[in-house]
Structure 1
Amino acid sequence: MRIAVLMTNTDESDFSNSWPKDGEKFPAMMRRVRPEWEYVVYSVKDGVFPEVLTGIEGVLITGSPHSVNSGDAWVERLFGLIREIYAAGIPMFGACFGHQAIAKALGGDVAANPKGWVFGLVEKRFADGRSLPLYASHSEQVTKMPKGAEVIASGPDCDVAGFVMGRGVMTTQYHPEMEPAFIAALVEHLADELPSDVTERARASLVKEADMQAMAERIALFIEGQSA
């Protein structure tokens, strides 16, 4: 399968540039379960968009510290592309910023979390009773669902931790692409910028690791049109 990775991460700090970019992280995550797939990266945050959707069989939209409410030209253009992808019936997965962008593009709303930052390892609780440990790093979240969307998961201080729209959309508010070493370094990198209690909770949560493989398999099954 040919998968388009829409890279939205605007962080060009020395810290960010010392780690693999999201255009590498997402394919690396998916290669754990689907090494035979082809991954084509488009840096949409730099204005690089697919010219056509022909031949694209699945879409992954990455996370970003940028806000979907910024009004920036590339974000508005991304909203339009999301609507095109959805109308074309191409399976689309979004993580964090991607989750929020899909929601907003298709008629939902995103706003600041009144309870502040959700950071570190969290348990994503699915509607069927299952749970999955994933890494979180967000202070905005979906506050209104698009018409026809179904919430499939919740998490700490996050009622909409993931949703689906038929066979066309699956999302998560979290970061399945993050490795344990990266999130640990990110917690320390942001320690001077975030409230101390947020940092301490995040540090304490990292005694356990996220299950990247399980989430990657869910994403792959969704793109293949199977039950996740």
Structure 2
Amino acid sequence: MPLRICILETDVLRPELVDQYHGYGRMFELLFAQQPIAAEFTVYNVMQGIYPPEGERFDAYLVTGSKADSFGTDPWIETLRTYLLERYQRGDKLLGICFGHQLLALLLGGKSERATQGWGVGIHNYTLAPATPWMSPAMDKLTLLISHQDQVTALPANATVIASSEFCPFAAYHINDQVLCFQGHPEFIHDYSRTLLDIRQQCLGEHIYQQGIASLDYEHNGTTVAEWMMRFVAHKADKAAV
């Protein structure tokens, strides 16, 4: 049977981008369709207060990126924190990307804040820790599209770093077989990243903008990360079935 994944969508795209890109939930559906593990996805926009029905169970819950701050106090963020903590305490598998990566770290005892390094944009390179069984196919380094000005600055006590760089030391981590998070955006495509860079050109400054645009000449490992995420979920499901 395919894995059942709940995508908790934590943003709404700008109106001018909706026709082409739809939303982050749709971006993840397109991404995961490119990896070999069978999975079904249901998207709930929690920013709009939409959650799975009571009693509905999934193999994993994925928290998307957002323009909001993970350390913000908006009512919808507080509601999401409560919901995720309940899922964690119940033993559910949790996946986090960008905002989700930061929110889960914060929720589970780490720290997330505005980064002194400033904006990270375009394609970024990371050093990888030794591969775990679910990091297949194995790679020597990782490249991902990024767009963030916040970072995790302290990990939960039981978290293990799996990707890092000088710019972003805690770029990916896992907590045992239950939580897996990435600061980068495996679901982004080059055209969407270019659009974000153009929209934010003035606030980024010309130097960071031009660096980001130039980096888009290179490919990234988003589909590999998608496979790692599904293998991580399947690994947990296999253990639970024993």
- After TM superposition, the score normalised by the length of structure 2 is 0.87
| Aligned-partner SS, 2:147 | strand
Matching residue of 1:90: 92
Between the aligned partners of 2:111 and 2:53, the Cα distance in structure 1 is 28
Runs of 4+ in 1 over 4 A off after TM superposition: none
Q: Which residue of 2 aligns with 1:137?
A: 147
Deviation (angstroms), 1:16: 5.2
> Secondary structure, in 3 states, of the residue corresponding to 1:221?
helix
Is 1:219 aligned with 2:229? yes
- Percent identity (aligned): 29
Give the RMSD, CA atoms, in angstroms.
1.7
Work out the CA distance in 1 between the residues paired with 2:24 and 2:35.
Answer: 18
Question: What runs of 5+ residues in structure 2 fail to find an aligned partner?
Answer: 131-138, 237-242
Q: Is the 8 A contact 2:12 2:23 kept in 1?
A: no
Q: Cα–Cα, structure 1 residues 17 and 160, in superposed 2: closer, same or farther, change >3 Å?
A: farther
Query: Which residue is equivalent to 2:159?
Result: 149
Indicate whether 1:176 and 2:186 are aligned.
Answer: yes
Q: Which residue of 1 aligns with 2:44?
A: 42
Alpha-carbon spacing, 1:131–1:52, altered in 2? closer, same or farther (3 Å): farther
CA distance in 2, matches of 1:187, 1:89: 38
Instruction: Quote the residue 1:81 is aligned against.
Output: 83
Contact 1:64 1:97 survives alignment (8 Å): yes
Say if 1:11 and 1:65, in contact at 8 Å, map to a contact too. Answer: no
SS at match of 2:50: coil
TM-score by length of 1: 0.92
User: How far 1:218 sits from its partner (Å)?
Assistant: 0.7
Aligned to 2:204: 194
What is the Cα deviation at residue 152 of structure 1? Answer: 1.4
1:113 to 100, 115, 123: 115
Alignment partner, residue 70 of structure 1 = 72
Candidates 219, 223, 231, aligned match of 1:209: 219
More off after superposition, 166-175 vs 118-127: 118-127
The residue type paired with residue 145 of structure 1 is: L
User: Does structure 2 retain, via aligned residues, the 8 Å contact 1:91–1:222?
Assistant: no
Q: 2:173 aligns with which of 145, 148, 163?
A: 163
Offset from partner CA, 1:59-115 (integer Å, 9 cap, x none): 111001111122011101111111122122222110000101111111211111111
Q: 1:168 to 1:35 in 2, by over 3 A?
A: closer
What's the secondary structure of 2:169's corresponding residue? Answer: strand
Distance 2:63 2:92 in 1: 13
CA contact (8 A) 2:37 2:231 kept: no
Q: Distance in 2 between matches of 1:224 and 1:61?
A: 18
